[in-house]
Structure 1
Amino acid sequence: MTKEAISFTYYIVSTPGKVFEAITKPDLARRYWGHENVSDWKPGSSWEHIRANDERSVELVGKVVEISAPTRLVITWANASQASDPASYSRVTFEVEEYEAMVRLTVTHD
């Protein structure tokens, strides 16, 4: 079975630094997405996607593969219930670029 890439592009009136922080800073991610991405954001470190509600459940887990703030973040990604299965992991790449008077955020999941 081959895995295909899924890519989404968003245009946001902001700066690359602010968009990158909205992905990597738990308090900002909570405001925009209703969850927190928690890590020390160093290559090889783990990260967790934690639902920002009373239960604070860990929904997704992975490792930081590459980080070049504020333009690129690559992580592995798996459902927390499947974390022990190496085959369940995929990769997500966040590319943040200035585009005219805004930011182009491209998220590729493969």
Structure 2
Amino acid sequence: MGDTSFVYLSRIKTTPERLWSALTEPELTQRYWDLSFDTDWKPGSPMTWRERGGSVSDPGQQVLECDPPRRLAYTWHTFTPEWAERAGVAEDVLESIAAEPRSKVAFDLEPGGPTVRLMVTHDGFEPGSTVLKMISEGWPELVSSLKTLLETGEPLPA
């Protein structure tokens, strides 16, 4: 991890196709991430993030790359007051993160025997980014829950 990016690597006992489904299909993302995406997963297509009884739509939220089941990349969501309220993010933190440039996340899947190597790269941050600090704690938790779901059938308890 550097001042402007976050990289997280995990090995998951699954197939690339099952992992891809867990990254893209609403019924699975809802189970371990408690959100879903409304998109057709075509590069350039918009993405609506649905979570906690609300949604976040913005023209800047879009699919960047989609190469099933190898690589998926998209821009990170827009930080709105409604999102912050649902997520329990304080007003001063919202002000700080909303002023940052939009970041992007990429998922690279590589089969390796009975496991799939998942590399999550979240970048586009400026040095000292508050969002970078937040996702640096969030991604390990999220990938752990994803891994647990795919390996046991149940996500980590919330």
Q: 2:119 aligns with which of 76, 99, 106?
A: 106
The percent identity for this pair of structures is 33
Give the C-alpha shift of residue 60 in structure 1. 7.5
2:63 partner amino acid: V
In 2, Cα distance between equivalents of 1:14 and 1:64: 24
Give the C-alpha shift of residue 105 in structure 1. 0.8
Structure richer in strand, relative to its length: 1
Asked whether 1:89 is paired with 2:102, we answer yes
CA RMSD, Structure 1 to Structure 2 (Å) = 2.3
Q: Any gaps of 5 or more consecutive residues in structure 1?
A: none
Q: Runs in 1 of length 4+ with deviation above 2 angstroms?
A: 58-61, 85-88
TM-score, reference length from structure 2: 0.58
Q: Deviations over 1:61-108 (max 9, x none)?
A: 6101111001101111133418xx896311111101112311111110
* Pairing of 1:14-93 with structure 2 (within 5 A): 14-51=14-51, 53=52, 55=53, 57-58=54-55, 62-81=61-80, 88-93=101-106
- Per the alignment, do residues 11 and 89 of structure 1 end up closer, same or farther by CA in structure 2, a change over 3 Å counting? same
In 2, Cα distance between equivalents of 1:80 and 1:23: 21
Aligned length, in residue pairs? 103
- Per the alignment, do residues 86 and 74 of structure 1 end up closer, same or farther by CA in structure 2, a change over 3 Å counting? farther
Contact 1:60 1:80 in 2 (8 A): no
Structure possessing the higher radius of gyration over alpha carbons: 2
Contact 1:76 1:89 in 2 (8 A): yes
Contact 1:25 1:38 in 2 (8 A): no
TM-score, reference length from structure 1: 0.81
- Per the alignment, do residues 8 and 96 of structure 1 end up closer, same or farther by CA in structure 2, a change over 3 Å counting? same
2:55 partner amino acid: V
Contact 2:49 2:77 in 1 (8 A): no
- Per the alignment, do residues 4 and 43 of structure 1 end up closer, same or farther by CA in structure 2, a change over 3 Å counting? same
- Per the alignment, do residues 104 and 13 of structure 1 end up closer, same or farther by CA in structure 2, a change over 3 Å counting? same
Structure richer in helix, relative to its length: 2
